[in-house]
Structure 1
Amino acid sequence: MNHFSRAFDIVPERININIIMNHIYQTFGNFKTYDKDFLHHKTEENFRAVLERQVPQQKSQIERIYDDGRDNSITLNAIFNDIKFDHRYTDLKSFVDYLEPELNFFRNDSEKIANFVEETIANLEFYKWSIDHMIKIHRKMIDDIDQILRQLLILKSTNTYRYLAGEITMKDIDDQILAQQINISGSFQQSQLQFGTHSTMHINQINNQALQQVCNQMREIIDQSNELPEVKQDIKNIVAEIEATNNPSAFKDAYTKLTSALSNHITIFTAFASSRILTELTKYLG
């Protein structure tokens, strides 16, 4: 499903841009929740009254955790609406180039405020629950922004972004595709010269050996992730299916199954993409 109701890839791609865009969309949805969380501490917990009674001299410093936090969450939610509906951000490059500096600014601001207030209250004696919780909300916002920024880095490595940025031309992309085709074809022809009528068996063995290395790398990344054991095993099972394929059709089915599963586990997806595993796997799509 494409939450943005528009396609961002305009040239042949090795990375599924829609999966990344949809996760960015979903992560941005968290900022609306954070806004409500901040507001709860003002209207329900009445944290300002607590500060006024218990630490009046530090009140103006401490309450910045709310003021800046709520401002940031509201603004980030507004940015979210911009990227959904503003016609200025309909292509991938304008989308990434707009988001990246904005997110870096709010990330740094939230980190600065969270650290400042944390240090301010460290040696004070008062009812800190609301303040501590709002510091945690800032940390969650920082984590979400970091996640989106990592995804933007992946988007900047795509053919579409690099083409729009003038870093590569259509000829470069065509040459890239041709090189992959030649690599596959050349390996096959070489195996025919070496092994004659048994070439099909040997080319599968050669490909499987390289593919096995990629699959082993995927397993290592999965094991190092923070996903639940059952999630890790489910994805490993798909990796095993990929490893066992012996024809392009079966591989494509297994590859599609993998990318679909990864769409729900962006941490592993990001690690695969940044390690160029997904790029490597596309070579076997034929």
Structure 2
Amino acid sequence: AVAVGSILDNGDEVVSNSGDRVVLQDNQGNLRVLKNDDALLRQPGSQVQTETFGDGSTRTTVTREDGTKIITIRDANGRVLRRVREFADGSRVVLFDDTEVAEPVDIASLPEAREQAIVVDTSDEDALRRALTEAQARDVGRTFSLNQVRQIRKVRELAPELDLDAVTFATGSAAIQPSQAEELTSLGRAMSAIISERPGEVFLIEGHTDAVGSATYNLALSDRRAETVALALSEYFDVPPENMITQGYGESALKIPTLDAERANRRATIRRITPLLRQAVLDN
């Protein structure tokens, strides 16, 4: 286990370790959370094999009962670098690839964020499917690494977000009620249909908190909330977990600007980030 106070190779300091998640702080005071992304991929009946290389990087292969393999490469610090879905017939789709050095992001050159949340009836499967499919990221003439999308707010805000209004969380909790899970039915079916047609689609599930509590605690809690929603979509509605990226952003994106306990801020959102990522390639 990584001890609180230890410094990683990239200079980040470990400021919290709850066992399932580690919160890091960089030299500018920015916080980010790391966890084992493969936990979402481990479905009942799957076989998991992890190889560790001399530089500390790893390759984890999850083999499902139908012969599908999900191959994930991560660096020595645990950051996910590459994920490939290999079908039983040998064809492969690269979902994202951060193994190459990404072009630096000039934040000042990116367009200002605009209010562009997708407004759609979340019980209307066809409307959700159209909205998610047609949601276009703002064209800035380049693509980004997954890490840049995850960690740079102005980058991920290039993609419209869908606010999951039907799912909010109790204070200090990452659990969703059965009735709320049912509200995800249309979204789950829409996502499954989209991914069935285009296996390279990638969705970012974001978790958020209100402003009550410490920033470190809220960051880890919001990350669990994102994972809870992704697990519900996968387990109940068969959305392939490898096509979902989960990330918590704590109290950094309050829907209602208040320091008080506000249930509307304890929420989850989703973005279709495929257009932002390096283009997925289908190998036959």
TM > 0.5 fold call: no
Higher helix share: 1
Larger radius of gyration between Structure 1 and Structure 2: 1
TM-score (norm 2): 0.28
Q: Which has the higher contact order (CA 8 A, sep 6+)?
A: 1
TM-score (norm 1): 0.28
